[in-house]
Amino acid sequence: MTSIEPRTEGRTSQGLLTDRSRRQVFSDYLALTKPRIIELLLVTTFPVMFLAERGVPNVWLILATLVGGSLSAGSANAYNCYLDRDIDKLMHRTEGRPLVTGAISPRNALIFATVLGVASTLWLGLLVNWLSAALSVGAIVLYVGFYTMLLKRRTSQNIVWGGVAGCMPVLIGWSSVTNSLSWSALVLFLVVFFWTPPHYWPLSMRFRDDYANAGVPMLPVVAQDTAVAKQIVIYSWVTVLTTLVLVPVAPMGWVYTVIAVASGGLFLVEAHKLQRRAKQGVPYSVLKPMRLFHYSISYLTLVFLGVAIDPLVYLALPGLS
């Protein structure tokens, strides 16, 4: 009869790390940072730097900002894993996370998150500027304290206000170039803010049972599909309209405007399709909320791609030259 022993962060019986176990330990700690979320955050950081510069920023500045931003986001996500380890084990989607499986101890995860947070602050402060470093600290505090600890388990509006943390990379990208903030940066901040609910609620619809199991009151857990879909449509419209506010504020030219209108139109079509299916009371297999979830990522990427390209090939709109 064999027994299964918990993994002890890659150590062999002799207390040494093999090449394979080193890779596994690295993979486990990397998983704590939620790399896929970091990728999405960088999508909103990198392009904003081009708009702030109205051209191509210094390559070293780009790299320094992206590295610092990645460390900061990794810290916030690791803290999130540490604080949510009790509910992560109750959800199928998160039951494989390192703190749930025992691959990493809570103490080591907490130390890791703290080291990343300190490193990101010093990196941004010394190599970029201290405004960007302060905004980075603010993002960590908002995600860990405001969203994870205060809102997530208490209100169905958790992702709305907790999503503020996910908007901070926009401000960090802008401030890294200008060492200041502006109305253009605020508009882009609001784009991400309003985009977050119609991006995340379809995912919550997909994993409704998981969240209900863990006692997390995501909107799809406490409301009918029709009510959730209605909110998604409202936020989708506000998101698209906010992207167009940037046109006179920045100002933006034809490239950005065409991308924002075309991709935004498709975003609205998908949101309304979801609402129509919800009103019909169709089963999940027909409702297909993940279709909107996946397109929402493409939509945000396209909009911010337009933000980066437009100042490089600026073609002024009538009255905005």
Give one DSSP letter per residue of 25-88, joined into a string: HHHHHHHHT-HHHHHHHHHHHHHHHHHHHTSPPPHHHHHHHHHHHHHHHHHHHHHHHHHTHHHH
User: What integer pLDDT is reported at residue 17 of this predicted model?
Assistant: 59
pLDDT-based confidence at 5, cuts 50/70/90? very low
* pLDDT for 184 beyond 70: yes
For the chain, percent of residues with pLDDT exceeding 70: 93
What integer pLDDT is reported at residue 20 of this predicted model?
Answer: 57
pTM across the whole model: 0.92
- Tell which residue, 121, 131, 129, has the closest CA to residue 72: 121
pLDDT of residue 4: 39
Residue with tokens 């935004």: 264
- CA-based nearest residue to 308, from 42, 129, 39: 42
> Strand, helix or coil at 90?
coil
Kind and range of the H or E element at 110?
helix 106-127
Indicate if the pLDDT at residue 228 is higher than 80: yes
pLDDT value of position 284: 84
Q: 37: which residues sit within 8 A by CB, 6+ positions away? A: 73, 77
pLDDT tens readout for residues 87-121: 999 999 899 999 999 999 999 999 999 999 999 99
Query: Residue 240's closest CA among 302, 157, 156, 164?
Result: 302
What does the radius of gyration of the chain's CA atoms come to, in whole angstroms? Answer: 21
Token output for 278: 């919800």
Residues 49-74 have pLDDT tens digits of 999 999 999 999 999 999 999 999 99
